[in-house]
Structure 1
Amino acid sequence: MPETKRIVLSSDHAAIGLRQAIATHISEKGWEVEDIGPKTPESTHYPQHGEAAARRVASGDCSLGIILCGTGQGIMMAANKVRGIRCGVCHDTFSARMIRQHNDANMLAMGARVVGEGLALDIVDAFLEATFEGGRHATRVEMITAIEG
């Protein structure tokens, strides 16, 4: 688990309710939550929300991030454009655990139109409870990082 338990959450308009449920859930687990997503349902642009959250993680202001849009795909793509971010879309607990254990992911993306609240909270728990295994995986993460230039 990261040293600081500060996490950033963001989403576009499609995932406000799920994002707020996640914020409550992880806050109850002792995480300091920085929720920077929209509060009203007017249409917003997921790339802006993905980038904003990713910049907080990349700067070290937050140790991890969770971002959401309709599918999780677009917001994940935007976040991964920020140097130092390793974000994966997960719609199952196994993948969420593996992106932390094997890929040292620092951000999780999900689709609010893909998963329900109960499963989303289980996915979040799997992501937050997993730790990077290092070893042979560290070499691979270094290879991913080298691609950034």
Structure 2
Amino acid sequence: MEDNRTPIIMGSDHAAYGLKEYIKEFIKQKGIQIQDVGAHSTEAVDYPELGFQVAGAVSAGKYSRGILLCGTGLGMSIVANKFPHVRAALCNDLFSAIMSRRHNNANILVMGGRVIGDVLAGEIVTAWLETPFEGGRHQRRLDIFENMGCLVHKDTTTVANNP
């Protein structure tokens, strides 16, 4: 079982800066270390660059979990899920957060700073950190997914020509 107190890498765009700061302090109070890659203010930034840093670190195994935030969470989800071994889940409600861990073993939590408030975000983070992966039939499905990802990243031409 994964230790839910392992360090987390986190990033946001300017639209979710305030929520990122709240979540960062919320997680620190749980005794969990945070690596914050930005944004560091409400000045406009390009979210793909920050999503790239977080998802890249999780993909490479430098961090086992990450958190990404942008205005809606959609853009960061798209960026993060381009990386091998990343299972980023957009969770703006508790049920999605729990199920993203229980059935999908999500390793990046994504939320929308313009969609949810601080209190709900804290509840989502807590649920996401504390919910274990069930394994079993869900592991079999993740293995299938992981193999698909390896094929796609290896040879996108073959996959594109054989729908």
TM-score, normalised with respect to structure 1? 0.96
* TM-superposition CA deviations, 1:60-117 (whole Å, max 9, x none): 2212001000000111110110111000101111110110110011001000000001
What's 1:121 paired with?
Answer: 122
User: Is 2:110 the counterpart of 1:81?
Assistant: no
Query: How many equivalent pairs are there?
Result: 149
1:15 equivalenced with 2:16 (yes/no): yes
Alignment of 1:19-34 (within 5 A): 19-34=20-35
Identity %: 44
Distance 2:104 2:37 in 1: 25
Matched-pair contact (CA < 8 Å) for 1:5–1:30: no
C-alpha RMSD of the superposition? 1.1
1:2 Cα shift? 2.7
The answer for the alignment partner of 1:111 in structure 2 is 112
Which letter does structure 1 place at the counterpart of 2:145? I
In structure 2, the residue corresponding to 1:84 is in which secondary structure? coil
Three-state SS of the structure 2 residue aligned to 1:110 is strand
Give the superposition deviation at 1:5: 0.8
Query: 3-state DSSP class of the match of 2:31?
Result: coil
Alignment partners' CA distance in 1, 2:72 and 2:39: 17
TM-score w.r.t. length of structure 2: 0.88
1:143 counterpart residue number: 144
**Greater mean deviation of Cα atoms: 59-68 or 118-127:** 59-68
Match of 1:2 in 2: 2
Larger Rg: 2
After the TM superposition, which parts of structure 1 deviate over 3 Å for at least 4 consecutive aligned residues? Answer: none
Q: Structure 2 regions of 5+ residues with no counterpart?
A: 152-163
Please give the secondary structure, in 1, of the residue aligned with 2:8. strand
**Within-5 A mapping of 1:90-101:** 90-101=91-102
8 Å contact kept, 1:53–1:67: yes
